[in-house]
């Protein structure tokens, strides 16, 4: 029997392991990854913004619980991110700095998430797992909390990506099979949305494509050809869920599949790892990966320096 | 048939847009696509050279052993996409764009390319414009000048390539141009545009901030630093985000008329377009949109003759079939 605490730890360790494994493969193509590593299976360096923003989101959530408001999140950004910035913002995406500038301008949510045009980024999806842990078994509440957070920094499809991840983690926390987990993600977003269309298409490809052809097939299905970045939530979420489904919900298989797809590989592998880790628990995260996951450095968010995802997981479970 | 005044204002919108398009620094970059590919490869190599040697000003773009005309001041992407829109305006918009899908000789904004790929993959509007990383850009706002001039709703067209602020920007531009073609003063046209831009959207918030900033500054040129601060956050070079370019165009058109005696004129046109071209981050299309509003208000015949002549013949740098086409003729046929 896997306890809720085991699942919470599995979720955040899976996320941190995916973040670290995928980091060197970010922005590479599946072909470039294959040429460099064959298959990328070993963590080479530390995690990135995915893990640190996840810890930050969990910290703010634990202060307010189900009463969390977007104003609470905006205040935390102002006091703990903006106020500590005395130079460049490290390791974040355009949506984070865009949000910081909107907050500096004195705007309030939801305008802070709309002012910059990167509202569809995967920056909410990457930090949404704690909402699923906290609202384990209640995907609607998990999605609502993720959206509450997301209104500060995102809009539209960016919020939908966060809703999908949070709802899916909430269901994975019950030990449900991957099919039910991916179904929860689809139920958390409107049928007529880019996220839903990409999720359905990517899951369909994952179900019928041989492993050797999966990377190219997924790219052809959800990657926008004439756009130079890899930060679109509808793309990243679709790749992450397809990797999780193709990996059968196993932590190592899901995370390795996601990381080897390239694109925003740290984020897609982090999301796949969060889903699989919640489903299979701490013991299912490969030991050789888990021992590489220690306290975060605070390279992206100094306010979370020294925090360990295991402790964060335990605190969320105590807060349930 | 429109009255002479009406026709003059429609032609003024087109010529004004083309003049603004030509005035922004990116025009030469767009027009340089008419030169051989190897010359642009050298541009890229010279970029690396500049970085390596820490030099500031390089001789790009250049024409080596090729015609020099593309690098002269002249209309570029926005004038051509406006002309294409006017020529196809009575057609089903998804069908008109569908004919472009699969072509490899076009130059277009990211929103348009993503939409063409979506159409080719079987996605219909509005998904073609929504499932689109640059749904927020002003490609549809530029095309909306044609819809406004014809007194038509731009939404069906806008939804093919854009969504949200990208569509709102198109509606705002079409409303303003339609009001100006009807003879409304600039202040009324700007109000009509604002009515299409909810305050809770980025484009609606930016439009109100930009108008206030430009009015406080007193003249378009004086407003340049204030508009830079009010609308641009400089986190990311969107260049053509509708939430930036449409508000700047509305604010500069408004300030240009207000600061030159309250009536649209060649002087107001020059002041507004010049100021827009000074905002380097949005110089690709903000001068064009500003020029469309001020050119429409003043009417074609009131615009500086040298500009009218210089911008009426299209180069074909984005839509090759338009090379040599007379923009004024196309504008006239809209009526």
Angle at A95 between CA B232 and CA A301, to 5 degrees: 120
From A94, A97, A194, residue closest to B130, measured CB to CB: A194
B9/chain A closest Cα distance in angstroms: 33
Q: What integer pLDDT is reported at residue A86 of this predicted model? A: 80
Q: Which CATH class is domain A4-319?
A: mainly alpha
Sign of CA dihedral A165, A167, A169, A175: negative
Q: Which residue of A has its CA nearest to B238?
A: A117
Burial of A81 (0-12, 13-18, 19+ CB in 10 A): buried
For A157, list phi and psi in degrees, rounded to 5.
Answer: -65, -25
Is residue B119 a contact partner of residue B96, using CB atoms and an 8 Å limit? no
pLDDT in tens, B60-80: 888 888 999 999 999 999 999
From A114, A118, A226, residue closest to B113, measured CB to CB: A226
Burial of A45 (0-12, 13-18, 19+ CB in 10 A): exposed
For B169, list phi and psi in degrees, rounded to 5.
Answer: -60, -40
The residues, any chain, with a CB within 8 Å of residue B125's CB and separated by 6 or more, are B93, B94, B156, B159, B160
From A116, A224, A225, residue closest to B233, measured CB to CB: A116
Q: What integer pLDDT is reported at residue A60 of this predicted model? A: 98
A238/chain B closest Cα distance in angstroms: 13
Share of chain A above pLDDT 90, in %: 95
Q: Would the CB atoms of B127 and A227 count as touching at under 8 Å?
A: no
3-state secondary structure of B288: helix
A182/chain B closest Cα distance in angstroms: 21
pLDDT in tens, A152-199: 999 999 999 999 999 999 999 999 999 999 999 999 999 999 999 999
Among A82, A106, A114, A122, the strongest candidate for a mutation testing the B interface, having the largest count of B CBs within 10 A, is: A114
Longest C-alpha distance within chain B, in Å?
61
Instruction: Tell me the CA distances in angstroms from A208 to A78, A199, A271, B18, B210, one per residue in order.
Output: 46, 14, 22, 51, 52
Q: Which residue of B has its CA nearest to A231?
A: B133
How many angstroms separate the CA atoms of B180 and B268, rounded? 15
Confidence tier at A2 by pLDDT (50, 70, 90): very high
Asked if pLDDT for residue A131 goes beyond 70, the answer is yes
How many angstroms separate the CA atoms of B283 and B27, rounded? 9
Contacts of B233 in chain A (CB under 8 A): 98, 101-102, 105, 115-116
The DSSP line for B92-114 is -HHHHHHTTTT-SS----HHHHH
How many angstroms separate the CA atoms of A16 and A292, rounded? 10
Range name among A2-6, A84-88, B25-29, B285-289 with the lowest pLDDT average: A84-88
Q: Which residues of chain B have pLDDT under 70?
A: 1-3, 335
For B199, list phi and psi in degrees, rounded to 5.
Answer: -65, -25
Asked if pLDDT for residue A97 goes beyond 70, the answer is yes
How many angstroms separate the CA atoms of A290 and B268, rounded? 67
ipTM of the complex: 0.95
End-to-end CA separation in angstroms for chain A: 19
How many angstroms separate the CA atoms of A70 and A80, rounded? 15
How many angstroms separate the CA atoms of A133 and A5, rounded? 9
Contacts of B164 in chain A (CB under 8 A): 156
Chain A from 145 to 174: CB within 8 A of any B CB = 156
**CB distance from A111 to chain B under 8 Å?**
yes
Contacts of A223 in chain B (CB under 8 A): none
Q: What integer pLDDT is reported at residue B1 of this predicted model? A: 37
Among B302, B335, B294, B327, CA closest to B84: B327
| Chain A, chain B: beta-carbon pairs less than 8 Å apart | 60
Element (H, E) at B323: none
Q: What is the value of pTM for the model shown?
A: 0.97
**CB distance from B241 to chain A under 8 Å?**
yes
Q: Would the CB atoms of A101 and B235 count as touching at under 8 Å?
A: yes
Q: Chain-wide mean pLDDT for chain A? A: 97
Kindly report each contact of residues A104-111 with a partner whose C-beta sits within 8 Å and lies 24 or more positions away, as own/partner. Answer: A105/B233, A107/B205, A108/A71, A108/A74, A109/A70, A109/A71, A109/A73, A109/A74, A109/A151, A109/A152, A110/A70, A110/A151, A110/A152, A110/A155, A110/B200, A111/B200, A111/B202, A111/B205
Among B127, B202, B204, the strongest candidate for a mutation testing the A interface, having the largest count of A CBs within 10 A, is: B202
Phi/psi-derived region of residue A295, left when phi > 0, alpha when psi is between -120 and 50, beta in every other case: beta
CB-based burial, B53-74: b 16+ in 10 Å, e otherwise: eeeeeeebbebeeeeeebbeeb
Contacts of A82 in chain B (CB under 8 A): none
Name the residue ranges covered by the structural domains of chain A: 4-319
**CB distance from B131 to chain A under 8 Å?**
yes
Confidence tier at A89 by pLDDT (50, 70, 90): confident
The rounded Cα B160 to chain-centroid distance in angstroms is: 17
Contacts of B243 in chain A (CB under 8 A): 117
Please compute, for residue A66, the number of CA atoms within 13 A of its CA located in the half-sphere on the CB side: 6
Topology (CATH) of B4-334: ADP-ribosylglycohydrolase fold (1.10.4080)
How many angstroms separate the CA atoms of A106 and A75, rounded? 11
Q: Which residue of A has its CA nearest to B118?
A: A224
Place of tokens 């593309």: B70
Is residue A43 a contact partner of residue A17, using CB atoms and an 8 Å limit? yes
Among A3, A1, A2, A5, CA closest to A314: A5
B204/chain A closest Cα distance in angstroms: 10
pLDDT in tens, A38-71: 999 999 988 889 999 999 999 999 999 999 999 9
How many angstroms separate the CA atoms of A119 and A111, rounded? 10
pLDDT in tens, A19-42: 999 999 999 999 999 999 999 999
């Amino acid at each position: 029997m896997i306890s809720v605490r085991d699942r919470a730890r599995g979720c955040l360790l899976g996320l941190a392991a995916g973040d670290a494994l995928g980091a060197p493969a970010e922005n590479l193509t599946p072909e470039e990854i294959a040429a460099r590593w064959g298959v990328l299976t070993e963590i080479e360096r530390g995690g990135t913004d995915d893990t640190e923003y996840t810890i930050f989101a969990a910290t703010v959530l634990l202060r307010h619980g189900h009463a969390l408001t977007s104003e609470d999140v905006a205040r935390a950004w102002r006091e703990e991110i903006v106020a500590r910035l005395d130079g460049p913002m490290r390791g974040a995406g355009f949506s984070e700095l865009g949000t910081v500038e909107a907050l500096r301008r004195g705007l309030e949510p939801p305008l802070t998430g709309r002012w910059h045009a990167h509202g569809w980024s995967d920056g909410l999806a990457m930090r949404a797992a704690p909402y699923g842990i906290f609202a384990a078994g209640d995907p609607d509440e998990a999605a609502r909390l993720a959206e509450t957070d997301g209104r500060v920094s995102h809009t539209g499809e960016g919020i939908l990506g966060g809703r999908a991840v949070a709802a899916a983690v909430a269901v994975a926390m019950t030990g449900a099979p991957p099919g039910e987990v991916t179904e929860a993600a689809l139920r958390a977003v409107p049928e007529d949305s880019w996220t839903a269309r990409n999720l359905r298409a990517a899951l369909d490809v994952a179900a019928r494509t041989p492993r050797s052809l999966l990377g190219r097939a997924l790219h052809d299905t959800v990657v926008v050809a004439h756009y130079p970045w890899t930060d679109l939530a509808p793309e990243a979420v679709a790749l992450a869920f397809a990797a999780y489904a193709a990996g059968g919900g196993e932590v190592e298989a899901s995370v390795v599949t996601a990381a080897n797809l390239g694109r925003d590989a740290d984020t897609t592998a982090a999301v796949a790892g969060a889903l699989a880790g919640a489903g299979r628990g701490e013991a299912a995260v490969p030991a050789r990966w888990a021992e590489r996951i220690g306290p975060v450095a605070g390279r992206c968010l100094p306010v979370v320096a020294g925090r360990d995802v295991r402790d964060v997981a335990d605190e969320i479970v105590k807060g349930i | 048939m429109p009255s002479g005044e009406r026709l003059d204002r429609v032609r003024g919108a087109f010529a004004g847009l083309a003049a603004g398009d030509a005035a922004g620094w990116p025009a030469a970059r767009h027009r340089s696509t008419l030169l051989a590919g190897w010359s642009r490869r050298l541009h890229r190599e010279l970029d690396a050279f500049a970085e390596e040697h820490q030099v500031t000003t390089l001789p790009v773009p250049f024409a080596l052993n090729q015609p020099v005309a593309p690098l002269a001041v002249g209309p570029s992407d926005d004038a051509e996409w406006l002309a294409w829109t006017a020529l196809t305006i009575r057609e089903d918009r998804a069908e008109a764009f569908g004919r472009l899908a699969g072509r490899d000789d076009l130059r277009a904004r990211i929103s348009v390319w993503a939409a063409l790929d979506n159409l080719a993959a079987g996605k219909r509007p509005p998904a073609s414009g929504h499932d689109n990383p640059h749904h927020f850009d002003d490609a549809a706002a530029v095309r909306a000048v044609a819809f406004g001039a014809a007194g038509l709703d731009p939404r069906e067209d806008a939804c093919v390539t854009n969504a949200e602020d990208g569509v709102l920007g198109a509606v705002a531009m079409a409303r303003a141009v339609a009001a100006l073609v009807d003879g409304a003063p600039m202040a009324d046209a700007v109000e009509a545009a604002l009515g299409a831009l909810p305050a809770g959207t980025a484009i609606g918030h930016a439009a109100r901030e930009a108008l206030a900033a430009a009015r406080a500054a007193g003249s378009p040129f004086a407003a340049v630093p204030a508009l830079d601060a009010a609308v641009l956050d400089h986190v990311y070079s969107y260049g053509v985000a509708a939430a930036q370019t449409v508000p700047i165009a509305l604010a500069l058109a408004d300030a240009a008329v207000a600061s030159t005696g309250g009536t649209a004129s060649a002087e107001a046109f020059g002041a507004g377009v010049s100021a827009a071209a000074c905002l380097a981050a949005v110089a690709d299309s903000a001068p064009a949109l500003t020029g469309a509003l001020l050119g429409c208000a003043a009417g074609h015949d009131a615009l500086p003759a040298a500009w009218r002549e210089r911008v009426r013949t299209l180069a074909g740098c984005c839509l090759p079939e338009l090379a040599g086409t007379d923009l004024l003729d196309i504008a006239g046929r809209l009526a």
